Homo-oligomer: A and B are copies of this chain.
Amino acid sequence: MLDRSYKIVARVVVNVMPKAEILDPQGKAVVRALDLIGVEGVSDVRQGKRFELEVDESVTAADLEKIAEVLLANTVIEDYEVVGVEVAQ
């Protein structure tokens, strides 16, 4: 986890994807469009969202879960994952 001994800014990524059992018309549209640009071999595409958050050291893992669950994802139809990417002083 974050080292609390100095000022930190971290970039956190939250990925939000449609649940597997939910239809994804945007992804299906991409699959169909692949014919137009002559690419074969792509059997499925799912489209979701990627959020990049710049957070300071006061933001806890619980905060990030809350942000993802309440604000970024609709958990009825979407799954999310919180990924810490890089930490810079």
| Interface residues of A, Cβ cutoff 8 Å to B | 9, 15-17, 27, 30, 33-34, 37, 39-59, 63, 66-67, 70-72
Pair B51/A27 contact, Cβ less than 8 Å: yes
Q: How many copies does the complex hold?
A: 2
Pair A52/B17 contact, Cβ less than 8 Å: yes
Note all chain B residues with C-beta closer than 8 A to A9.
Answer: 43
Closest to A46 in B: B52
Q: Evaluate whether A44 and B53 lie within 8 angstroms (CB atoms) in the complex, with A39-B63, A39-B66, A63-B39 already known.
A: yes
Q: What is the bound-complex CA distance between A56 and B47, given in angstroms?
A: 18
Closest to A31 in B: B53
Q: What is the bound-complex CA distance between A44 and B57, given in angstroms?
A: 14
Closest to A16 in B: B50
